[in-house]
A and B are shown apart, each in its own frame.
Chain A
Amino acid sequence: MILRLACLVARRAGWLSRRLGRGGGTTVPGVVLLRLRPNAVAELGAQLKHGAILVSATNGKTTTTRLIVAAAEALGLRVVTNAEGSNLERGVATALLLGTGDGPADLAVLEVDEAALPAVTRALQPRALVLMNLFRDQLDRYGELDTLVDLWRDLLDDPTAVTESCTLVLNADDPNLADLGRSRSNVVWFGIDDASHALTERAHAADATRCRQCGHAISHDVVLLGHLGHWHCTNGDAQRPAPTVRATAIALAADGQAITVAIDDSPLTMRSGLAGLHNSYNLTSAVAATYALPGIHGHRAEAARAIAATPPAFGRGETVVVNGRTLNLLLAKNPTGVNQNIRTVLSGAEPVHVLALLNDRTADGKDVSWIWDVDWEPLNDRLASLTLSGERAWDLALRFRYGGFDMDKLAVEPEVPAALDRAIAATPAGETLHALPTYTAMLDLRAELTRRGLVDEYWSEP
C-alpha cells in the first residue's frame, strides 16, 4: 500500500479506536501503519526538514524531551513529539503520523525506549542522540544493564544508523555512557560540576561499579546520583570526560531550582519549576542538546528561557490540592528514581507523609524485587505517616518491616480510594502528602482524583 493511503487508514483506525472508547490513541495508528508499511518510520522521518533528535535514558527521558521541544519551539521550529508512555517504535510511528498531518514538520524530538533505540535510530538516522543515563530498571524486560550498554555500543558503531553528522549528547557523569563516547569526535559531553550536592556514598542500587575497559573498580570522588558523579577507574585507564556543558552552581528548593549552566565557560542562570538534582541533569542535558538544534546560533538565551519555563510533566512533581492538603505526585519507576524522589521529599522541613503505591503489571515491571534496592531508610527519622497501596502493597509493607520502620505509623490499603482517604486523614490540613506510585498505580490514582473532580482526565494524546 502506498504511504499516503497507509497513513489515511492508520489515522482512521486511531480515530475509530478512540470513538469506541478503547483508548490506544498513541499506539493503534502506529501499529496499523507499521503493519501496512513496515518502513513508515523511515519514510515519514525523511519528510522532516531538519530530521530528528532522539532522547533515551532509564530516567528523565520524558522530561528532557519536553524541555528540548520547548527550546526548539522557541526558535520558531514546528516540532513533532510523542506522548509519554508511547516511546516504542509504534509510538514513534504514531507521533510522526499525527504530527505530520498538516504537512511536513521541521523537526522531530522523540523520547525512545532504551531497548527500542536501535530500531528507531536505524530508521531515522537522527541529527542528534541524547543519552542521559542507564540505571537498573525492570530486569524482567531487558535482562541486564550490561546487555543494554552492549546494544547501544553496537548502535553507535553502526555508521548507517549513527552517521558522521549525528551529534552525540552524552552524560560524562555516567561511567557506562562515558565509555560509549570514548574516542568518538562528535560528542557534546554534559555533567554536573557543583560538588556541594555530593552524597557521602554510592546508593545501594549503584550499577556501574566496574570499569568497562579493564574490569577494575570504578571510584568516585563525588557521587551525585546513583552511580553518576565524578569518577575514575582505579586502574587509571578511564575517567570522567571534561564536560563542555556543565552545571556549575545549583540551588535546590522544594518547588524548583536555580541552576547555572556554563557552555564553553559562558554561564547562563535559569530558574526552573522542576525540583531535585535529577532535574538538574534533565535541564543540563536539554541545554546541551540545543547544540544540535538548527538555527541555535545567536539564540541560546531564548532556548534556555524556554527550557526554564517548562512545567513538570505528568506525575513528575505535579501538585494537586486534595481536601486542603497538597498532593505531590512523584512517579516511582526504579531504585534510582525513587531514591531521588526521597531526597526531594526530605528537602522540605516538615514531618513527612507518604503514600506509596506498588503495582506489578507489565508497565510497572512484574518483578517487584526492585523495591528492596531503594534506600527508603533516610525517611525513617522524619516519617509521620505512611500509607501503602496497590496490588503489591503487602510487599511494600515487608520492605518497611525489614527496613526497621515503626509499623504503627504504617497502614496497608491495597485499594486506591481507601488508601487515598487514609493518607489524607493522616496528613494535617495545610501540609503535603507525597505520593510515590509506580506507572500503572499513577494511572489508578489519577483516575481516582478525576472521579473526585480534582484533576482533568488524563488524555495521553500527542
Chain B
Amino acid sequence: MTTPTVRLCHLYPDLMNIYADRGNIAVFQHRLAWRGVRLEVTEVSLGDALTGEHDLYYLGGGQDRDQDLVADDLQTKAAHLRSAADDGAAQLYVCGGIQLAGHSYVAANGDRLPGTGVLDLETTAGTSRLIGDLVIDAELEGESHRVVGYENHVGRTALGTGCRPLGTVVHGYGNDGASGAEGACRDRVIGTYLHGPLLPKNPWLADIVLRWALDHRYGDEAPALEPLDDHYESAARTVAEKRATLNR
C-alpha cells in the first residue's frame, strides 16, 4: 500500500509569513510523519493558478503592503477556495489570513480590500493595535480546550450568521476586544488571530485539522491519528497561559 498523503496548499508563503507561519506547517508535517502519513506541500503565490485538489489550505499573516498585493490576487482564487470549503476540505486562516477569508477588510483610510468570502465575516481597521498574549477556550468537535497564543492586529472582526466564533476569550482581546469572541469557523474552516505560532502549543487543534484533511482525502478509509507524547507542548502551553495571566 502506498503511504497515505495529505495534500496541503500553502497560500502565499513568500508574502504571508511574518508571524512564524512556518511553525504551523512544520507541525502539520511532523505530526503526520510521526503517524506514517506524508505531507505534500504545494506553494501557491501571486499569479499562480490555484488548481487541483487539496485536502488542507493554509494562509498566514503579512505586512499591510503585502496583504494588499495578496488581496487582489486572491480574487482569482476565491471561487476555488469557496467550493473547496463547501466540499469539506480543511482550511486554516491565521492573523491576516482570517481577514482575507472574510468578505472584505476596510482600512483606516476607507479603502476596501476584497476577501474571498469563505468565512461570513467583515473586518474594519480600528484606531489601536490589539497586542498581547491571548488565551481562549476553543470549541470544536463537541470538545472544549484551552488554546494559547499571541495576537497583534489592528483589524476588528465582526461575524455574520454563516459562522460561529472559534472560542471565547479568557485573556486578551480576540476578534474586536469587546465581544469576547475569538476567531471564526464553519464546516472544516477555521480562522483565528492566534499566532505564536498557533499549532505547536496547541496539538489538540492541530490534530483536529489533520483529521479533517485525512477525512477529506480518505473518508472512512482514513488512517487513525494515534496519540503522541505531547509533554513539551503541554509544558509550553502551561507557561504561556501563566505569562498571559501575569499582570505585566
Total interface residues on B, CB under 8 Å, equals: 35
The 8 A CB mask of A361-396 against B (1 = contact, 0 = none) is 110001111111100000000000000000110110
Question: For the complex, what is the distance from the CA of A391 to the CA of B131, rounded to whole Å?
Answer: 19
Cβ of A325 < 8 Å from any Cβ of B? Answer: no
Cβ of A139 < 8 Å from any Cβ of B? Answer: yes
Of chain B, the residue at the smallest CB distance from A410 is B232
Cβ of B188 < 8 Å from any Cβ of A? Answer: no
Nearest first, the 6 closest Cβ-Cβ pairs linking A and B are A372-B20, A394-B236, A369-B20, A372-B23, A402-B26, A398-B200
Question: For the complex, what is the distance from the CA of A362 to the CA of B23, rounded to whole Å?
Answer: 23
Question: For the complex, what is the distance from the CA of A402 to the CA of B131, rounded to whole Å?
Answer: 26
Contact partners of B201 in chain A: CB under 8 A: 395, 398
Cβ of B27 < 8 Å from any Cβ of A? Answer: yes
Cβ of A143 < 8 Å from any Cβ of B? Answer: yes
Contact partners of B64 in chain A: CB under 8 A: 144, 146-147
Tell me the smallest distance from the CB of A169 to a CB of chain B, in Å: 26
Q: Is the interface of B mostly helix, strand, loop or mixed?
A: mixed
Structural contact, A215 and B69, CB atoms closer than 8 A: yes
Cβ of A204 < 8 Å from any Cβ of B? Answer: yes
Cβ of B63 < 8 Å from any Cβ of A? Answer: yes
Contact among A144, A147, A367, A391 for B196, CB-based, below 8 A: A367
Contact partners of A402 in chain B: CB under 8 A: 23, 26-27, 30, 200
Question: For the complex, what is the distance from the CA of A395 to the CA of B235, rounded to whole Å?
Answer: 9
Structural contact, B196 and A369, CB atoms closer than 8 A: yes
Contact among B27, B66, B69, B131 for A140, CB-based, below 8 A: B131
Contact among B14, B23, B131 for A399, CB-based, below 8 A: B23
Of chain A, the residue at the smallest CB distance from B21 is A372
Question: For the complex, what is the distance from the CA of A215 to the CA of B73, rounded to whole Å?
Answer: 13
Question: For the complex, what is the distance from the CA of A399 to the CA of B232, rounded to whole Å?
Answer: 10
Structural contact, A372 and B197, CB atoms closer than 8 A: yes
Structural contact, B65 and A210, CB atoms closer than 8 A: yes
Known A369-B195, A399-B23; judge A146-B239 contact (CB<8 A): no
User: Which A343-375 residues have C-beta < 8 A from chain B?
Assistant: 360-362, 366-373
Of chain B, the residue at the smallest CB distance from A202 is B14
Structural contact, B22 and A373, CB atoms closer than 8 A: yes
The 8 A CB mask of A139-156 against B (1 = contact, 0 = none) is 110011111000000000
Contact partners of B200 in chain A: CB under 8 A: 395, 398-399, 401-402
Cβ of B173 < 8 Å from any Cβ of A? Answer: no
Tell me the smallest distance from the CB of B26 to a CB of chain A, in Å: 4
Tell me the smallest distance from the CB of B34 to a CB of chain A, in Å: 10
Tell me the smallest distance from the CB of A84 to a CB of chain B, in Å: 23
Cβ of B176 < 8 Å from any Cβ of A? Answer: no
Tell me the smallest distance from the CB of A318 to a CB of chain B, in Å: 29
Known A144-B18, A369-B195, A369-B197; judge A392-B26 contact (CB<8 A): no
Q: Choose among A366, A368, A372, A407 the residue with the greatest number of B CB atoms under 10 Å from its CB.
A: A372
The 8 A CB mask of A303-345 against B (1 = contact, 0 = none) is 0000000000000000000000000000000000000000000
Question: For the complex, what is the distance from the CA of A402 to the CA of B206, rounded to whole Å?
Answer: 13
Structural contact, B22 and A372, CB atoms closer than 8 A: yes
Tell me the smallest distance from the CB of B181 to a CB of chain A, in Å: 22
Structural contact, A366 and B132, CB atoms closer than 8 A: yes
The 8 A CB mask of A396-412 against B (1 = contact, 0 = none) is 01110111100100001
User: Which A404-436 residues have C-beta < 8 A from chain B?
Assistant: 404, 407, 412
Contact partners of A209 in chain B: CB under 8 A: 14-15
Structural contact, A146 and B20, CB atoms closer than 8 A: no
Of chain B, the residue at the smallest CB distance from A212 is B65
